[in-house]
């Protein structure tokens, strides 16, 4: 059987793999660290996480789209009931081009371009 990597032997490949995994564990032992910093101006880390969670269930194929398109897309992505309930709060007839527009329509805060460094 031929290995995909011809630079190292099997023993070295295994050691490098273990070292990479150990490095990740040292940085974030549980894989779910506390988010600090990194939030863009005008947003908190919680805002970023909530918007990201919403966007996870809005497929690109649903954008641009209205409330019904977004709910249908989220349903196809097996979105949790909480996400579907939030999307149902969107006004009818409004078309959204981006997740940021959806987030803002729901009362969420997006980046403040005036405050960028």
For residue 11, tell me if it sits in a domain: no
Determine how many CB atoms are found less than 10 A away from the CB of residue 2.
4
Residue 12 maps to a domain = no
Decide if 70 is inside a domain. Answer: yes
Please report the pLDDT score of residue 42 as a whole number: 79
Residue 17 in any domain: the answer is no
Q: How far apart are CA 22 and CA 9, in angstroms?
A: 20
Q: For residue range 24-69, list pLDDT tens digits in order.
A: 445 444 455 554 557 777 788 888 899 999 999 999 999 999 999 9
In tens, the pLDDT along 71-116 reads 999 999 999 999 999 999 999 999 999 999 999 999 998 877 666 5
Q: Is 105 helix (H, G, I), strand (E, B) or coil?
A: helix
> Tokens 């999307």 sit at which residue?
87
What average pLDDT does the segment 16-30 reach?
Answer: 51
> Residue 110 sits in which domain range?
45-115
Domain count, the chain: 1
């Amino acid at each position: 059987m031929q290995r995909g990597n011809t630079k190292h032997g099997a023993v070295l490949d295994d050691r490098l793999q273990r070292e990479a995994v150990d490095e990740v564990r040292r940085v974030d032992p549980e894989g779910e660290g506390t988010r600090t910093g990194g939030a863009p101006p005008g947003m908190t880390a919680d805002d970023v996480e909530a918007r990201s969670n919403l966007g996870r269930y809005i497929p690109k194929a649903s954008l641009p789209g209205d409330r019904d398109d977004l709910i249908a897309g989220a349903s196809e992505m097996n979105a949790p009931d909480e996400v579907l309930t939030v999307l149902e709060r969107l006004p009818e007839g409004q078309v959204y081009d981006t997740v940021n527009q959806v987030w803002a329509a729901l009362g969420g805060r997006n980046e403040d371009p005036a405050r960028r460094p």
